[in-house]
Structure 1
């Protein structure tokens, strides 16, 4: 593509056709206008015909034809103009969910909390990381919340093949993912029962906070009265959220954290890289104009 401010040629290589057309025009203009008719018709008869019809020479039809071909070549070059307001922008704010899938009995509550957060994240970029003994990206960052919601209900405790519970790996994965995507501000929500948390996880949470992210935790219990009152795991989840400068909550009641994320909204955007969407190709209209010279070629001559 070659651009000249607000005007551009999307496929400029088609311009190479024009020099060939110029050479063809020069070559054809050197020929006698009557061409082979002088050899096919008796000279005396041809002179009478030319005199009777007041014809000095046969009219040339090459000019309109070459003009039409030239217009077609220019049309194929893709003459385009920048469309006002067509600039594409990318959100640099994201909501990333880290979902513990190590225990099947906790998944329904965890999935419901994740869906609640997704529904209330607005136009932010959204991502989903699943973890057990290791962490995996279930969905890259996207602005399509519906695709993530449909994915959530296909998850079970066999989705991640690695046994164990390693939230630290999920946090490290989230940190790397947000860096590579050049996200400026993000809310990371860890949905878990608190098992497997250790000092390394807290250090990673602090690192996330230092990079402009906030880590929230949502505690998941198997059932009321079981580990819902486990002070050790709840305290670990609360401590992790504090290290990540986020909120600690319960997966059964994710409203406060969802409202907190929604309140931050979108504060950072950048111009996207989809330059082709900025230009409107007018080549198709030139193709219509190319038909006009052809009409001159096909038009019959009046006697």
Structure 2
């Protein structure tokens, strides 16, 4: 529940306040008299006891300290909080690895421009999460380790070409295996592997790795590159196989020609997962425990001397 800049993380505890008010009213009515004694003692005897000073009616103010303690405790348990504004604190909770296919079918088929635009869109929607980059064709190589400065990867995109990786082929499985290793070594708890490829030559090993990544809360997404030109010896794009891979990996599938919807979906899902999962408590500063200090004055009244 949002109350301006303050949020109540457990607002249902506020329902205890009306119940407390009702119980207080009932208790005050009974405290001003003798309660059940008025029905248990003969009226004449009770009147005589009062004349001799043997009966002292209850005092309503004695109920106030316990009521104050209960009210303050209910407010504290509702957990007033503010959002934590330091994203660097959570840099190991969620990350993105972008794997870019630089095989011949991409570079010579006219799909490299779409690949660069698609990756740029993913970087812009990373939301401050650490981003790493992998380049692959017949093998996979790290182009950049995790960095929270996604803009620093833009110059690297500008120099991509077919002469960067010497190994011919298109091995998305090796890119996924390298991404899995990168997440493990960085100690990042969850995230996304975004394949930017045409889906050519997806081996069963790629599906096995995608399934393993998904079980570790790492989604496998894909942006399909459809080359504008193709020589006779180059395989065509395989969108069906690539989409099946994302289904195994629990990720999103889209086109590199229009990457914005998929990139935004990846960004939104990451934010939702963090703020609703086990790590959600780290995104708020809870002041409820400090509110319990306000109950101490009421608690001290319980220790006053009475006669």
| Fold shared by both chains (TM-score > 0.5) | yes
User: If the TM-score is normalised by the length of the shorter chain, which range does it land in?
Assistant: 0.5 to 0.7
1:195: Cα distance to partner?
0.8
What stretches of structure 2 of length at least 5 have no aligned partner?
A: 1-84, 283-307
> Any residues of structure 2 matched to 1:287-298 within 5 Å, and which?
none
Aligned to 1:57: none
1:226: Cα distance to partner?
9.8
CA separation in 2, counterparts of 1:182 and 1:269? 18
1:256: Cα distance to partner?
2.0
> Any residues of structure 2 matched to 1:168-179 within 5 Å, and which?
168-179=173-184
Question: Is 1:90–1:270's contact at 8 Å kept on the other side of the alignment?
Answer: no
Pick the aligned partner of 1:106 from 108, 111, 132.
111
1:189 paired to 2:194:
yes
Pick the aligned partner of 2:266 from 256, 261, 270.
261
The size of the alignment, in residue pairs, is 185
Aligned-partner SS, 1:122: coil
State the structure with more CA Rg.
Answer: 1
> Any residues of structure 2 matched to 1:118-133 within 5 Å, and which?
118-133=123-138
Aligned-partner SS, 1:173: helix
> Any residues of structure 2 matched to 1:79-228 within 5 Å, and which?
89-91=89-91, 92-103=93-104, 104=107, 105-223=110-228
CA distances 1:154-201 after superposition (whole Å, capped 9, x unpaired):
111111121211111000000111011111110111010111201111
Question: Is 1:127–1:140's contact at 8 Å kept on the other side of the alignment?
Answer: yes
* Structure 1 segments of 4+ aligned residues over 4 angstroms from their partners: 85-88, 224-227, 268-271
CA separation in 1, counterparts of 2:140 and 2:181? 12
- The structure-2 alpha-carbon separation of the partners of 1:137 and 1:231, relative to structure 1 and needing over 3 Å to count, comes to closer
Question: Is 2:220–2:250's contact at 8 Å kept on the other side of the alignment?
Answer: yes
Q: What TM-score, normalized by structure 2, do the two folds share? A: 0.56
1:88: Cα distance to partner?
6.4
Aligned-partner SS, 1:160: coil
Question: Is 1:90–1:269's contact at 8 Å kept on the other side of the alignment?
Answer: no
- The structure-2 alpha-carbon separation of the partners of 1:86 and 1:129, relative to structure 1 and needing over 3 Å to count, comes to closer
CA separation in 1, counterparts of 2:87 and 2:160? 37
- The structure-2 alpha-carbon separation of the partners of 1:233 and 1:88, relative to structure 1 and needing over 3 Å to count, comes to closer
Aligned to 1:247: 252
CA distances 1:99-128 after superposition (whole Å, capped 9, x unpaired):
001131321111110011101111101110
Aligned to 1:284: none
- The structure-2 alpha-carbon separation of the partners of 1:122 and 1:226, relative to structure 1 and needing over 3 Å to count, comes to farther
- The structure-2 alpha-carbon separation of the partners of 1:226 and 1:217, relative to structure 1 and needing over 3 Å to count, comes to farther
1:255: Cα distance to partner?
1.8
CA RMSD of aligned residues (A): 2.7
RCO higher in structure (CA 8 A, sep ≥6): 1
- The structure-2 alpha-carbon separation of the partners of 1:225 and 1:156, relative to structure 1 and needing over 3 Å to count, comes to closer
CA separation in 1, counterparts of 2:269 and 2:185? 22
Question: Is 1:216–1:248's contact at 8 Å kept on the other side of the alignment?
Answer: yes
Question: Is 1:122–1:265's contact at 8 Å kept on the other side of the alignment?
Answer: no
Q: What TM-score, normalized by structure 1, do the two folds share? A: 0.56
Question: Is 2:121–2:263's contact at 8 Å kept on the other side of the alignment?
Answer: yes
Question: Is 2:193–2:218's contact at 8 Å kept on the other side of the alignment?
Answer: yes
